[in-house]
Amino acid sequence: ADHTLCYPSRPQDMDWASLFPSFFPPEAPPGTPPARVEFADVGCGYGGLLVALSELFPRSLALGLELRGKVAAFTRARIRALQAAQPGRFGNVACVRGNAMKHLPHFFLRGQLSKLFFLFPDPHFKRTKHKWRIISPAMLAEYGFVLRPGGLVYTVTDVPELHQWMLQHFGEHPLFEPLPPGQLAADPLLPLLPAVTEEGQRARRAGRPPSTAVFRRRPDPPVL
């Protein structure tokens, strides 16, 4: 249940150094700005994307949020094992147990993130369960809050109806716009995302083609 989840009352209270010790050296000169998580993988599952992000962006910190305690523990153990086997690598990724639909602004400051990932989110097929979908009009406002203007949201799903749902809701939201095709083609993550996670590999084995979409956080509207 949610009352067993740990989350900071505000992002400034989060102990980031214990999650990413190599990015918080005790000998850092005074005044050095603290390292900040830039990428978030929502519902990171068993961590396939985090491992890939670590290798592709070794200087950027990425946090996976996973609701299921056992799955989050597995992913933490996986990252620890990689760090032990390859010292000096994989220190830029971490996983916490958390409910992204409730606590995202507890973890991240306004405009902190440059990339937010939703890979194979739970489809919640029944109409009465649509309110549990992680992409919903109410949640988009929060995703827009934690993303910096120009930041990107990546979605991948093998459920065509959910893909349409996500296109519709991002398309209708004033804080988001589809990434122009030229930039889509230049993004090195795009070809990788459909098969980098455990769920993606499962979809591939089952012959279910994934659909990917990328949306860009628009600039803040002028204050009138």
Side chain identity at residue 39, one-letter code: F
Asked if residue 43 binds ligand SAM (CB under 6 A), the reply is yes
Q: Which of 165, 101, 157, 167 is nearest to 127 (CA)?
A: 165
Distance CA 88, CA 35 (A): 17
Stretch that binds ligand SAM, among 60-68, 79-87, 106-114, 163-171 (CB under 6 A): 60-68
- The answer to whether residue 96 forms part of the interface with ligand SAM (CB under 6 A) is no
Question: How many residues comprise the chain?
Answer: 224
Could you tell me whether strands 113-119 and 211-217 are parallel, antiparallel, or unpaired per DSSP bridges? unpaired
CB of 190 to ligand SAM, least distance (A): 15
Q: 145: closest CA among 117, 183, 99, 176?
A: 176
**Nearest distance from residue 42's CB to ligand SAM, in Å?**
6
Coil/strand/helix, residue 171: helix
Shortest distance in whole angstroms from residue 64 CB to ligand SAM: 8
| Choice among 122, 158, 187, 220 that is catalytic | 122
Q: Which residues bind ligand SAM (CB under 6 A)?
A: 42-45, 48, 65-68, 71, 99-101, 119-122, 134, 197-200
Q: Which residues are annotated as a binding site?
A: 43, 66-67, 99-100, 119, 197-199
